[in-house]
Structure 1
């Protein structure tokens, strides 16, 4: 892998991690979904590597737990969904806001999947008890993408074209 690509992956993973840590004091308000979608739109499948490094940062900070297993499929799933919808939705950021909002809405159910092998009744209780927060998560994701999705995408595309990214 070229050094420039490795540097880009490390840099964007660090931005993802810092964005998450910075907003941890606000429940279910995060930029990880937003940045994952933007990174995938701009860098394609490379976003899978970015979220993988981000997941390693999370493991280093918080240690291993069932919650971390969820991160191993949740963020790559968002990359995959974005890649699959990229040609269909193109640069329609109202539609990307809907995708981001729906992802926030189902985040708790996706997270609960990791608890199914441990205890299916706990997984269900976990998901149901967090539905209110999932709604809030979805609303926040929608608003964030709606307000800054298009400008952030434009900046990232411009930086990529001008070789502002390694």
Structure 2
């Protein structure tokens, strides 16, 4: 995973997920973060050459909509299909807000963030960004 995405991505995700658990507790939700962030990193890497703001907005929006379903996998394993369905349905309002806000943030901020990250990467002599 780390080699495919670059030397920093795997470690950054591991530290982030560990810090989330330390700050907010290692509840059932935390186990889903072990794979949710990895899936997102792989998706971003696969689409790294995409220049379209709309494309990135749609990708981020779709992932936000899918977030609740992805977090339901541990619920399925531990509690069965009925509890999983209830979990997914109860999370629909959150997922809608999550998806719309992800879309808007990616669509509006992506060009600026790319310029900032490219400048920082060059100034720190870290080589090139994986999406350049």
TM-score computed with the length of structure 2 as normaliser: 0.84
- 1:146 matched to 2:131? The reply is no
2:61 paired with 1:101: yes
1:48 Cα deviation from its structure 2 partner: 2.4
5+ residue gaps, structure 2, are 127-132
Alpha-carbon distance in structure 1 between the residues aligned to 2:88 and 2:121: 39
Q: CA deviation at 1:164?
A: 6.9
- Cα offsets for 1:112-165 (capped at 9, x unmatched): 111111112212111111112211110000000111111011110111012277
CA distance in 2, matches of 1:62, 1:136: 21
Mapped partners of 1:50, 1:117: distance in 2: 28
Structure 2 counterpart of 1:134: 95
SS in 1 for 2:72: helix
Distance of 1:148 and 1:84 partners within structure 2: 20
